[in-house]
Amino acid sequence: MPTFDVVSEIDIQEVRNAVDQASREASTRFDFKGTDSSIEFSEKELTLQSSTEDRLRALYQLLEEKMVKRNISLKTLDAGKIEEASRGAARQKIALKAGITQEVGKQVNKLIKDLGLKNISSSIQGDQVRITGKQRDDLQTAMAAIREADLPIPVQFTNFRD
């Protein structure tokens, strides 16, 4: 039976490259001079720091531009609240969303059921959703429907088997 998996993955190396480019540009741009703006990268989150809230928003916008240029969906960024840091500075934590949660998995399952295709079934398996069908065309219809749906995370399709 043909199957494929719906997953949500982040290319960490591309995120690292986007962060490096944004940091480099922030260190050389005139409007960031003297603001001590920085972006710290860890596996699951980014931390933006700047001297004012306004410069922090500009730094976030710069980061978004670099992410888009590297084909990283902005849906992977989960921006937290802007907080006060020491000496009047501002700080913001941005979580990186990867993997399909149970809620999103249920949304995908409901979407597949609502298509009305008889020979397709879907099941949540950890942080991915496996979709099985008798015909390849039905699976491609399901892929198109998932792409069109406005899910809160970016999705990719892997492990397509005939």
Mean pLDDT for the chain? 89
| The pLDDT of residue 63 | 94
CA separation for the pair 132, 100 (Å, rounded): 18
CA separation for the pair 72, 18 (Å, rounded): 9
User: Is CATH 3.30.70.990 correct for 12-96?
Assistant: yes
CA separation for the pair 108, 127 (Å, rounded): 12
For the chain, 162 residues long, give each residue's pLDDT as a single digit of tens.
Answer: 889 999 999 889 999 999 999 999 998 889 888 888 889 998 889 999 998 888 899 999 999 999 999 999 999 999 899 888 777 788 999 999 888 889 989 999 999 888 888 889 888 988 899 999 888 888 898 999 999 988 898 999 998 887
pTM of the model: 0.83
| The pLDDT of residue 98 | 86
| 12-96 has the same fold as 3-8+100-161 | yes
| The pLDDT of residue 35 | 83
List, edge to edge, every strand of the sheet that includes 38-41.
Answer: 38-41, 45-50, 90-96, 77-84
Give the type of residue at 108: V
Give the type of residue at 128: Q
Give the type of residue at 88: G
| The pLDDT of residue 65 | 94
| The pLDDT of residue 16 | 93
End-to-end CA distance of the chain: 6
Fold topology of 3-8+100-161: Alpha-Beta Plaits (3.30.70)
- CA 58 to chain CA centroid, Å, is 20
- List the domain boundaries for the chain: 3-8+100-161, 12-96
Percentage of the chain surpassing pLDDT 90?
Answer: 39
| The pLDDT of residue 14 | 92
